[in-house]
Structure 1
Amino acid sequence: MSTPITASQRYYRRGTTKVLWLPAVANKSAPTRAEINAGTALEGETGAMAGWQTTSATVPTPALGSRFTPTVGGEITAADSSLTLWASKTGVDVRQLLTRETEGFVMWMDEGDVPGQTGDVYPVQVTSQAKVRELDTAAQIMVQFSITSEPAENVEIPAAA
């Protein structure tokens, strides 16, 4: 008899997930507590997000001896990614922190900033600060990012120093 996968303890993302802007990380696969503490928490101003996931393409590997064409894993890419944050009537908001062409890291801690849990670290460059203009919604700024190298996924969140 097969063993079932462990039952998940499901959770609601809002109020749990943390997203940080880290200006510097020496090793994206092992961010230090000092690097995390030097970051800026964005979740309190984040109204929406898009992207922030990797995908892998497949490459066909046909062989003359079979009509079936198997595949192997191919290139890894990251989706176009953005964070949409609330704009301030005073103009003092995310626009001062995440200016165009700024390089750094976005760290996602999906289950919260809990030592021993895991998070993802995305090396990024800010590509734009688009002002979201809609009639019946509060003002927002959509910060778009290019993912500049392969993200480090499932990295352990370090304990407080």
Structure 2
Amino acid sequence: YITMIKAILIINNHGKARLTKFYDHVSQDKQQQIIRDIFLLVSKRSDRACNFVEGEDIYDSDTKIVYKPFATLYFIFIVDSSESELSIIDLIQSFVETLDKCFENVCELHLIFNIDKVHYILDEMVMGGLLLETNSQIVVSNYQQQNKLEKTENPLLAGFQGVMQTIKH
């Protein structure tokens, strides 16, 4: 059985999309409408409600919305209606843990200033709507190797990151 993910969204608690990844062709206007509708749906749900919604025709009739709030962000996966909600919740948890390991306690600013790296991490886990990897250690290792490669190809970047580490501490 192949996991089919139709879209992945990270939206802050003010409704601002911080990451959007649609695996089907969806027009820009339709994407914006989907983001607004899903935010309105998940943001008004009780903390005690389950973390998935079926029967809403926001994306299309054959989908369900699985989400998990973390701090000021909603991590939202739009998946086939036949998909296991628990497996998607686990995938969201794994994605967040991987981001935490790569950015040392990920926050909204990490997503804003490192969106290319966030997309790289996501692409290591999900490609074309299909699940590739859920082991965060493997994804973190690939991410670190990619960072080393970037630093060797661009010594200015390595120097800049060193300065940022010094300022941070």
The answer, yes or no, to whether TM exceeds 0.5 is: no
In the superposition, the TM-score normalised over structure 1's length comes to 0.26
More strand by share: 1
TM-score when normalising by structure 2: 0.25
Higher helix share: 2
Q: Which protein has the larger Cα radius of gyration, Structure 1 or Structure 2?
A: 1
